[in-house]
Structure 1
Amino acid sequence: MDNSKERTLQNYLIAGGFGGICTTLIGHPFDTIKVRMQVVPGLYINSFDATWKIITHEGRTGLYKGMSAQLIGIVPIFALSILSYESGKKLLTKIDEDEQNLKPKKLFLAGMFSGLTTTIFSVPGERIKCLLQMQNNTKKYHGFFDCLVKLLQEGGIRNLYVGTCATLLRDIPSSGIYFAVYETTMRTIQQNTTQKSIWHPMVAGGLAGISNWIVAMPADVLKSRIQIAHVDKYPQGLRSAFREMMNKEGPIGLYRGIVPIIIRSFPANAACFLGIHVALDFFDKFK
């Protein structure tokens, strides 16, 4: 990420939130398809079949189920993610070292720190999002806040944090890859051109998004299964879900829903980093 020593952590916090809004508006329909394919194996032949069936039986709005939960959750998650990443870079920068020239290993570590810090927001948000996305015409939950209240009534705060271990297993390594790929791609592009372009963060963000999901997908499948299941279905949590998947579907089950999420990854993350750069350029211009 282009760095300016005069930018404050507050600038990164706001820019990250704006980037999260951009990525949600572009990518949510693909995320709905991904979750449906992950949780109900065999119901859909492929991504296109899933899209067609959702639109046919639930209308186009079916693709946007759970988006309110995503938007409510994504702003603090992305804001905290960018803030934590920039803070991580500062912590890993030696006195005589330029932050813009940190090696990929340190960028990866800073990204992992980002993935760790966002869990407190991402787990409840994704729990609610997945439950809303899995609803058909028979609705138990009527929107984000209704789902939130019912989950709290049924099991308290603990009920919101179902799937925490799987989320950590997904987000810590994948966030490291995400930011390391983004930064190294931006550096490569900028070394070969003297002109700035909006395409630079879009290309780097898109490639970072694809890299992120290749790493994150197995844990994300398990997370989705755990978060929509009855509380007693997986008594050992992640281990129970993994054991069931290996017995019934084998390793290929860990990449169920990969096609829609890869299709989503490039435009959604391109929009995310474009939004972040637009916000940061705004702060640079009007500071």
Structure 2
Amino acid sequence: MGPPLVGVTPIFAISFWGYDLGKRLVYSATPNRSDAKLSVAELAIAGGFSAIPATLVAGPAERVKVLLQVQGQGSGGVVYKGPFDVVRSLYKQGGLKSIFRGTGATLGRDGPGSAAYVLAGYFVAYELVKDALKPANSDQLSVPAIITAGACAGVAMWSIALPADTVKSKLQSASEGTYKGVVDCVRKTWGESGWRGFYHGFGPAMARAVPANAATFLGVELAINAMDKFF
């Protein structure tokens, strides 16, 4: 629980900041647009852009989390005393490269997962469902509508992102030398289990996606409304 609790605040803060920055970049690239509302493709670009800065924090945090979660399983004993011990041990093994192992796979997961290229992406799904639930004469969403849109965003993202997340977790939890890189991990996973090997844990991922992302977007919307009032 330690790494997620420490890492979740900067990860989500940077992710939503990146999404807003991505939208600003789209607007700056299309100064003569006739409609202020972004298209699905433009939302996808902004969502995909948000993954780039967030991954710099998410990659190492997920590496530490995964190692702590898998230790003690099978024949392996408890190796690490806590998050700081993991970081210290990884740095001794291979420096910053070891700490950031799997960051490329994390970007592969979060980039396509956030943008999703058409309708099923994280921010895209949220915006589409939010617009569909928005009252005709108001921009204010009810709490149930925000929760519903957030839950749909989570399901959409993880439906697409799970294969990349599986590869990322394998890279981050494996001992040195198990995989040569992302391509090698993909090839070995396919050889062992076929396409099903990339969807292990689909049920728990979906069970987590609904409440976690509903809470995330509710927190964001409430925070924005509060800051609008006070600032």
The letter of the residue matching 2:175 is H
Which stretch shifts more, 80-89 or 193-202?
Answer: 193-202
Answer yes or no: is the 8 Å Cα contact 2:133–2:141 preserved in 1.
no
The letter of the residue matching 1:106 is E
* Whole-angstrom CA distance in 1 between matches of 2:70 and 2:110: 22
SS in 2 for 1:128: helix
- By relative contact order (CA 8 Å, sep 6+), the higher-ranking structure is 1
Answer yes or no: is the 8 Å Cα contact 1:90–1:99 preserved in 2.
no
State the shift of 1:166 in Å: 1.5
Answer yes or no: is the 8 Å Cα contact 2:167–2:186 preserved in 1.
yes
CA RMSD, aligned part only?
1.7
State the shift of 1:220 in Å: 0.6
* Whole-angstrom CA distance in 2 between matches of 1:98 and 1:191: 24
Answer yes or no: is the 8 Å Cα contact 2:3–2:61 preserved in 1.
yes
User: Which residue is equivalent to 2:40?
Assistant: 104
User: Which residue is equivalent to 1:141?
Assistant: 80
* Whole-angstrom CA distance in 2 between matches of 1:69 and 1:192: 42
User: Which residue is equivalent to 1:223?
Assistant: 168
The letter of the residue matching 1:254 is F
Q: Give the 3 Å change call, closer, same or farther, for CA 173–124 of structure 1 in structure 2.
A: same
- 1:219-264 Cα deviation digits (max 9, x unpaired): 11111111111111112x1111111111111111110001001011
* Whole-angstrom CA distance in 1 between matches of 2:105 and 2:174: 14
User: Which residue is equivalent to 1:159?
Assistant: 98
Unaligned runs of 5+ in 1: 1-66
SS in 1 for 2:134: helix
Unaligned runs of 5+ in 2: 116-120
Residue correspondences, number: 220
Q: Give the 3 Å change call, closer, same or farther, for CA 109–140 of structure 1 in structure 2.
A: same
Q: Note if 1:169 corresponds to 2:105.
A: no
- 1:201-228 Cα deviation digits (max 9, x unpaired): 1111100000000110011111111111
State the shift of 1:153 in Å: 1.5
Equivalent residue for 2:143, pick from 198, 209, 214 = 198
TM-score scaled to structure 2, two decimals?
A: 0.90
State the shift of 1:77 in Å: 1.1
Identity across matched positions, percent = 38
State the shift of 1:101 in Å: 1.3
Equivalent residue for 1:115, pick from 51, 59, 66 = 51
The letter of the residue matching 1:214 is S
